[in-house]
Amino acid sequence: MPHESDLVTGDAVVLELRLARSATRALAMAIDIAVQLVALVVFAVLLVLLGELDNALLGALIIAGQMLVLIGYPAIFETLSRGRTLGKLALGLRVVREDGGPIRMRHALTRALAGAFVDFGPFWIWSVIGFVTSLSSRKAKRVGDYLAGTVVIRERAPEAAAPTIGMPPALASWAAQLDLTNLPDPLALSVRQYLGRYGQLTEAAREHVGRRLADEVAGHIGAPVPPQVPAWAYLAAVLAERRARDHARASGIPVAGGHAPPQPYQPYQQSQPYQSPQPYQPYQHSRPPPAPYLPREQDGGDGPFAPPG
């Protein structure tokens, strides 16, 4: 049964998405079936209210109504809501492309057609083909997902404690001189999410996303990444300084800095050459993760920057 999956984007960045289990998908399907049954009952009542109809016309209306409910319902809902039917919405699920992007009409229609004629039997009974295919797939994909190039993910996850973004001590005086007035809120939020998930990303993703975000931030604040400073440390310093100034303003304390170009960054002085952070080790559940950006004397590191936890 799948739990997590690595999906590769067009930029060769690995995304870790929480895949939906077959049982959760079946429960979402049960909700959708209930909605479809109600729709069919309403349609039947409308046919009765229309009175006696020609047999050929009645047969055509019945077939059209069934196709609209069986195929139109999932295709229309997943297209308009970017991958969610009412059942998926209730269970916190969403259909996405294999690269993690939103689906389009052709993906939703392909899934709906495959679901009506291949994955599910008459009257929404889970067919042997769809059931076996989903259980044998590492990503819990049914035939419709294979044909459309999609997966179903869980959007809802247990809330985690908000990460504490601390100031790297070696960058404190340098960051105090930055002009952060032009740093947009959406970009700051992206930086916070990156730093919060730093320990969950692969080495390639950390480097790629970190460099891209650092370049974007530098373009807004006019201060490039100092020499010998990792991208994540630069981003942490900017974010921590921005937060400190926001807190100071909220407390009525005058905020200094940000009115003159920052002085050149002075590399950290130490007796031994700078050593880059150790490669990321998977989190061990037997002990709590280390606090992010611990000072050198606390984390026992050899360099001025302690990598995020």
Please state whether beta strands 4-8 and 14-18 pair in parallel, antiparallel, or not at all (unpaired): antiparallel
Q: How far is CA 134 from CA 25, 85, 131, in A?
A: 10, 19, 5
Task: Count CB-CB contacts under 10 A for residue 132.
Answer: 11
Q: What pLDDT shows up at residue 17?
A: 61
**Identity of the residue numbered 301:** G
Single out the residue of 248, 221, 253, 249 nearest to residue 235, CA to CA: 221
Q: pLDDT category, 72, cuts 50, 70, 90?
A: very high
Q: What pLDDT shows up at residue 248?
A: 84
Q: What pLDDT shows up at residue 295?
A: 40
> pLDDT (tens digit, 9 = 90+) per residue, 125-157?
555 677 778 778 888 888 889 999 998 988 765
Single out the residue of 181, 171, 202, 187 nearest to residue 258, CA to CA: 181
Domain ranges of the chain: 4-154, 169-265+282-299
Q: 97: which 2 tokens?
A: 């492309």
**Verdict on whether the full-model pTM lies above 0.85:** no
Please state, in angstroms and rounded to a whole number, the distance separating the CA atoms of residues 91 and 29: 10
> What is the rounded average pLDDT for all residues in the chain?
76
Whether 286 has a pLDDT exceeding 70, the answer reads: no
Give the three-class secondary structure for 14.
strand
Q: How far is CA 263 from CA 4, 80, 239, 285, in A?
A: 45, 51, 19, 43
Task: Count CB-CB contacts under 10 A for residue 138.
Answer: 9
Whether 117 has a pLDDT exceeding 50, the answer reads: yes
Q: What pLDDT shows up at residue 42?
A: 92
